[in-house]
């Protein structure tokens, strides 16, 4: 579990900018925090959708109550994640670490070349001429169809 506190909201732009800066210096911590934020958001949306299935009373149905419930869902979701959550953050973190390990940087790819630096691509690649041997491609005789012959016969001075 992460010892760092989650930002107050996934809409907290300062916290997101800080997370982006941490990702440059400590990608492992940033992956964990991002996975926790995602799990918190997922749980919040799940609670919101579950609450939408319950019929509301006219006595407590108001914009203020909806706002309060959204804030409560967000806080409950963050507390759930801090206490271990449902395992979604752990699964995401594991998957992201596997993808990160499999990803190859451009510098690593260049080092795979035997000399360390790849040969440049030619600007004008060599063009090889094709042979014109009569046996290379069999020719098919041109024949005129009956419809074309009939048309030619109808034209003044047409072929016969």
Q: What is the pLDDT of residues 75-126, one digit of tens each?
A: 999 999 999 999 999 999 999 888 877 776 766 766 666 665 666 777 777 7
Tell me the C-alpha distance between 89 and 59, whole Å.
38
Angle at 101 between CA 96 and CA 106, to 5 degrees: 115
Q: What is the tens place of the pLDDT at every residue in 42-77?
A: 999 999 999 889 888 877 778 888 899 899 999 999
Contact call for residues 38 and 93 (beta carbons, < 8 A): no
Contact call for residues 158 and 152 (beta carbons, < 8 A): yes
Q: Model-level pTM?
A: 0.54
């Amino acid at each position: 579990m992460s010892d760092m506190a989650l930002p107050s909201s996934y809409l907290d732009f300062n916290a997101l900018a800080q997370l982006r800066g941490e990702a440059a210096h400590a990608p492992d911590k940033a992956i964990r925090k991002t996975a926790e934020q995602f799990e918190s958001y997922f749980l919040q949306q799940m609670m919101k959708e579950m609450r939408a299935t319950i019929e509301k009373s006219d006595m407590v149905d108001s914009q203020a109550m909806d706002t309060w419930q959204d804030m409560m869902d967000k806080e409950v979701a963050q507390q759930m994640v801090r206490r271990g959550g449902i395992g979604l953050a752990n699964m995401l973190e594991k998957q992201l670490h596997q993808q990160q390990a499999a990803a190859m940087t451009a510098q690593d790819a260049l080092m795979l070349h035997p000399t360390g630096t790849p040969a440049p691509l030619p600007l004008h690649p060599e063009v090889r001429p094709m042979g014109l041997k009569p046996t290379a491609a069999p020719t098919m005789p041109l024949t005129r169809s009956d419809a074309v012959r009939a048309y030619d016969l109808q034209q003044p001075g047409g072929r016969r």
